[in-house]
Structure 1
Amino acid sequence: MKVNQSEFIISAVSPSQYPQDALPEIALAGRSNVGKSSLINRMLGRRNLARTSSQPGKTQTLNFYLINQDLYFVDLPGYGYAKVSQEQRRKWGQFIEQYLTNRESLKLLLLLIDSRHEPSKDDLLMYDWVRHIGLPIAVVATKADKMPRSQWQKHVKVVKETLGMPKDDPFFLFSSETGMGKEELWSHIEQAIGYVDPAEAALEKD
């Protein structure tokens, strides 16, 4: 998908605040500091649309980003950050669960995991729960540029085996710094939402 337009729309914590235009949505989940904002910026070709922060736990709402008037990226609060209070975690858990289980326009969840480390208990819980509720999921191993190319396959194997991923489940090795994996991930997103490129559609008509 060629991104011609992208904009932040709203930070929401309840269904009454969600966009009502029924466009397909792609959610992004993962631990704090796994690189969700950086991935969004790289995918959209924007430098600072999604604000990155050195302070974990910064995202405390569902942040909706509209792309080409065709779909939304929805950035979920990062999990696993110890300094967030139990009460705040409970509130996050409630509205995240409500969104993931009830949102009809949600077509795919991207679970981001730091490729340099074994998936955490929280990563495993999220992966198992999302598969249990039947929501399509793709695992994105981030920060591939932070380790030698010779280590990629070893770390990919660790992530897949720790999660217990079936062989055919979608998996992407990604770098927000170099753009590695961007085209492959866009291709999968297009497939998930049934996107047809207008230029290609016009050629087929001719």
Structure 2
Amino acid sequence: MQARIVVAYHSGYGHTAKQAEAVAAGAEKVPDTEVRLVSLTELNDELWERLQEADAIIFGTPTYMGGASAGFRTFVEATSQVWGDNLRWKDKIAAGFTNSGNMSGDKLHTLVDIALFAAQHGMIWVGLAEYGGWNTSQGSPEDINRLGSWLGAMSQSNNDESPEVTPGTSDLRTAEVLGRRVAAITHVQLRGRSASDLAAASA
């Protein structure tokens, strides 16, 4: 059974786009998974069709001034039709990721905002299930989940460096882990739904 994953993101300077590519690469490592990277720069019919067809949507945005970018918020507000039309995204898997220039940058606020958005659509949220790294004297900035986030994947990019340089490898590996987990859980959900449908049909 094929799982369809969409990584839907807004990126202001390319750093979040690089993180989105890592999320997609992680999801693609799970067999029988179709992954589409979708930029939220243009909200057209093709975008809405892809999101509707998806079994899981992983949302991404940079964190600017403690919250999601204006581009991502424009997308969020444009989903009101989907929300009002009998919760068309109900029971889809959802997850989120974000990038900022500072180590903290109040990125948690952005992830909470994305999770609440997904909850309003009736989606099922999947977080990051990796022990926090870089938190002991033996730790390293190369550790997975070095920023210690579990609601979603965080990355940090120096403001004076291009996307060719940053975010760093540990944050990109963390993004891959999130993508892989979302794909795996989506397959579990699809198999469970299929088994439930078969049981109901034979009852």
TM-score w.r.t. the length of structure 1 is: 0.49
TM-score w.r.t. the length of structure 2 is: 0.50
